[in-house]
A and B are shown apart, each in its own frame.
Chain A
Amino acid sequence: MKTKGIPKFVIYLLLIIFTSVPLFFSIPVPGQPVDASADAFKALMNLKEGDEVLLASDWTGSTRGESMANMKSILRILMRKRAKVAIWSTADPQAPRVAQDVMAEVAKEHVEVDKQPAYKRWDDWIIAGYYPNADVAINAVAKDIRNAFSTRKETNPEGKLKSIFESPVMKNIKTVSDFDLIIDVTASKTSDFHVQFLSAQKVPLLFAVTGVMVPETQVFYNSGQCVGFLGGLKGVFDLEQMMENGLNIKGADGKVLTGNSKVTDEIPGFKGMSNKGSGTKYYPTLHFALLLMIVLIIIGNVEMFKAKKGAQK
């Protein structure tokens, strides 16, 4: 099982060291948000109190490194903006469960750490559950959300099971166009279906995708089919930076800490609140992993040229 040059075992060992050791240290890394992240931040910060958001949570434990961090940051903003959130999933039966766990964690932090008024289930957020067959389900929601979600129920504050359409979150929703923003935190093809069925509904779409999905999501962003997206770890890092420093906001020394040349709006962040999470924590590690990759690519090429020279002699 050996490659010609460095044995695989050594490569793997190096990766383990390069990705785990930096986690023990806090390494500050500079970084400016990419256009897509800045646009995503703008769309989230444009929400007003009471705005309704449909949040598709289409990820599970396997991509939690990127997706959970994205989800947490987005939820933090939604809670601070006091938007009403309906969560639903189409990618995996386990997804609503994972979403609920993250929601509970962020809601707790919202009250205990950030000292904000409680963000309550039923009043502020609901879970519409899991729907198999992502394309059919998203199409059904696009066509008639009242029909698609008609059987879903939640326990109201009086302890009674009631239709989610009686909750303050959904009571004003007649069609999917009534939402002010649709977000898909996804690690699968559901972003495609969102564009396919929902981009014609005149609701801004926002995606939080894994690193591998960035190129294909960029297509939707460039064509204007989504207002912005957070791509992989870099996206989370960008969002956390913008939440901490604001976007294009000048610091005490008159310099812009976090800025973007395309999105020129000045949007203040949430200084002093818990903004930084996995993105800020893992981003230095990404540097080390990428550095290792570059070094290995260079070694591979040097080896190849040496072998070529040897063969010519």
Chain B
Amino acid sequence: MKPSDFSIWSLDPTKGTVFYHVIFAIVIGFAIFFALMNAPTQVRRPLTWFLTLLSGGVFVVAAYWPKPINFDAKTQKPLNAIESGSVFLADTNNVVGSFTQILAAFMLGLGIFSLLRIHLGKIAKKKTDWGFSIVLLVSMVSMITFGYWDYTTRQANKLVDYDVQSNWKLENMGRDFLFDKLLQQMDAAMFSIIAFFILSAAYRAFRARSVEATILLGTALIVILSLMGIVSAYWDGAVTSLAGDSANKDLILNFKITEISNWLRNTFQTPAITGIRFGIGLGTLSMAIRIWLGLEKGGK
């Protein structure tokens, strides 16, 4: 007997009753959905607050509740109430975690609706650049079509090795062309544009306007130079030969470019980033508490 056997969140998929549970859940879900749609705002607000508190509470309680240690040797069930609680929380955690994905999937429909409204409107009114809107819509429809077609074929023929190209049909080729040959390459192209922007931004922004900017410029140049193998090889070589066997050897060796760059990274960069991240972490924590306790009034 596995722990999932006594979890209220999971059912044995081989049993026929699962099907009825699914139908029941869908019916109840729709009923709640329509009830909420028609409920006045005064009812909806506290209900939303309560649901937030409840679902957030699962994660908070799961974090603070003692972790399960062991099961009973014979029954493989939790040993006492505290242990049962932790097993239940661990299961619930997974379920509540997947709610986000379900909600996001529903909202995707709204997103597509927004795209369609804006771009169909643009095409209908023949606004400037309406041709691009056609390109967008055609791309979207073809990607969805080939994506699902390919997926359903792969699901239906699980034993066919789709890694071998000779097994491909039109839908597999279409998906490969759109996703691997087009989208992936365009992604890479957009990413590589950053190189151009970094260069133009560096040219424009890295200027010794003030004392601080000069320090920044200096440190940046050292780090850039340390990344260049040729520079670091010759610089470090020169410093090592300069140090030789002199009394100040250890002191001089500190001026290797790799040492300076390491020192800059470990002494200034790392603590600065740690500090910034700690601040952001605290900000996120306090925002999370405000959202959880219903203190945050979005946009007000």
Interface of A, secondary structure class, is helix
Distance in Å: Cβ of A263 to nearest Cβ of chain B: 14
Chain B interface residue count, CB cutoff 8 Å, equals 52
Cβ B158 vs Cβ A161 within 8 A:
yes
The residues of A that contact B190 with a CB separation of less than 8 Å are 62
Distance in Å: Cβ of B203 to nearest Cβ of chain A: 4
The residues of B that contact A173 with a CB separation of less than 8 Å are none
Contact with A along B215-254 (1 / 0, CB 8 A): 0010001001101111011001000000000000000000
Look across to chain A and name the residue whose beta carbon is closest to the beta carbon of B256. Answer: A261
Interface of B, secondary structure class, is helix
Given the interface pairs A19-B195, A140-B97, A293-B224, the reply to whether A104 lies near B163 with Cβ below 8 Å is yes
Given the interface pairs A219-B277, A296-B199, the reply to whether A147 lies near B184 with Cβ below 8 Å is no
Extra A-B contacts (5), CB below 8 Å, given A64-B188, A65-B192, A222-B266? A32-B236, A94-B184, A140-B97, A290-B224, A297-B221
- Contact residue among B185, B188, B200, B232 (Cβ-Cβ distance under 8 Å from A32): B232
Does residue B291 face the partner (Cβ distance < 8 Å to A)? no
Distance in Å: Cβ of B240 to nearest Cβ of chain A: 11
Given the interface pairs A237-B229, A297-B221, A301-B208, the reply to whether A3 lies near B184 with Cβ below 8 Å is no
- State A64–B191 Cα separation when bound (angstroms): 10
25 contacts between A and B (CB under 8 A): A5-B203, A15-B199, A30-B229, A31-B229, A32-B229, A60-B187, A62-B184, A62-B190, A64-B188, A65-B192, A97-B180, A133-B100, A140-B97, A215-B265, A215-B270, A215-B273, A216-B273, A218-B265, A219-B277, A293-B198, A294-B225, A296-B202, A296-B203, A297-B217, A300-B204
Look across to chain A and name the residue whose beta carbon is closest to the beta carbon of B3. Answer: A147
Distance in Å: Cβ of A132 to nearest Cβ of chain B: 6
Does residue A34 face the partner (Cβ distance < 8 Å to B)? yes
B contact residues vs A (CB 8 Å cutoff): 4, 90, 93-94, 97-98, 100-101, 158-159, 163, 179-180, 184-185, 187-188, 190-192, 195-196, 198-200, 202-204, 206-209, 217, 221, 224-225, 227-230, 232-233, 236, 258, 262, 265-266, 269-270, 273-274, 277
Stretch at the interface among A6-14, A163-171, A247-255: A6-14
- State A206–B84 Cα separation when bound (angstroms): 35
Distance in Å: Cβ of B114 to nearest Cβ of chain A: 22
